[in-house]
Structure 1
């Protein structure tokens, strides 16, 4: 669920920088391999200051989920500026394709975190599922606006296609796979209009 939307917000404070850094470092290293010092370094915050904002690594995971939610909100706000639902969906796909090199190295940020959290069974997986569900719900609204009675199934198919191609792009370390699938998804969206 990545996209290259520029934020128009003020410079984030330490808490927000730590949350964003946690999301980034967890994506690149995984939750289990990441230390609080890694996150502090990425956020350019002294390690001791991290504990002022987050007492545990799980709180940092929760903050990273919040960072994913904020990024999704920014992406959706950007997409909502487009007039037609099909164009919104295709723009979403193009945003995914723009992140193909990152996907080739680390996979989808939300998808890889969801996979890792699912193994923990501590409730955090449900928080991330809620964020991912928001993207599926948004896509469903776009397909419904296109007059599709099967909007839910199409939304699930779109997000599943992205998650699947992210996995393959990462597995084979081949960003071109994301480009190929992106073009196919755009043609598919056009065929549904």
Structure 2
């Protein structure tokens, strides 16, 4: 019985390593340039093992998207413990700025994947990437709504669009300071908002 439990635990850990590796490698290299061997190497598992867990590259892309969703849920879960919606949104911006070096090298993990997947004509993975971004939009809108700011959905769209734009520009220009400057501008914008009159 113990051997069976140990095998399942090792298999689960290996799948988890492959999923995390897929998210990292796809972010760095993109879908088209990434091979299953690249992911196996990153996860430190034999390439043959990849096929045991994932039959196709698309399954690995789905796993990477699940990893991005889990990361977003973990981040928003931490932010939800802060006292006010303004604090939560401000810390979200600070988290983005904290990733400025990565953004300058590779862009936003989910945003770049969504753009690349949209150019493919063979599936629905682009919609799955969009669903992760929608999750962020919905969380941000809930914060603006709790804050009492008018047009919470519009403000959420402005915030997330600004993040996507500053990530894209930081990447295109290879300049992490774009994230710093635009992050400061977003923080000033958040500070300028007031709840709607009751």
TM-score by length of 2: 0.90
Measured in 1, the distance between the counterparts of 2:100 and 2:28 equals: 14
1:182 aligned residue:
183
2:55 aligned residue:
55
1:43 aligned residue:
43
- Alignment partner of 1:162 is 2:163: yes
1:6 aligned residue:
none
Measured in 2, the distance between the counterparts of 1:184 and 1:61 equals: 34
Alignment of 1:1-193 (within 5 A): 13-121=13-121, 122-193=123-194
SS at match of 1:13: helix
Contiguous gaps of at least 5 residues in structure 2 = 1-8
Contiguous gaps of at least 5 residues in structure 1 = 1-9
Between the two proteins, the alignment pairs up a number of residues equal to 184
Measured in 2, the distance between the counterparts of 1:92 and 1:148 equals: 17
Post-superposition offset of 1:147: 0.6
SS at match of 2:81: coil
Post-superposition offset of 1:120: 1.0
1:4 aligned residue:
none
Q: Please say which structure displays the higher CA radius of gyration.
A: 2
Post-superposition offset of 1:128: 1.2
Measured in 2, the distance between the counterparts of 1:176 and 1:131 equals: 26
Segments ≥4 residues shifted beyond 2 Å = none
Post-superposition offset of 1:149: 2.5
Measured in 2, the distance between the counterparts of 1:176 and 1:149 equals: 31
1:7 aligned residue:
none
Q: Which has the higher contact order (CA 8 A, sep 6+)?
A: 1
TM-score by length of 1: 0.93
Measured in 2, the distance between the counterparts of 1:119 and 1:16 equals: 28
Post-superposition offset of 1:144: 0.7
Post-superposition offset of 1:131: 1.1
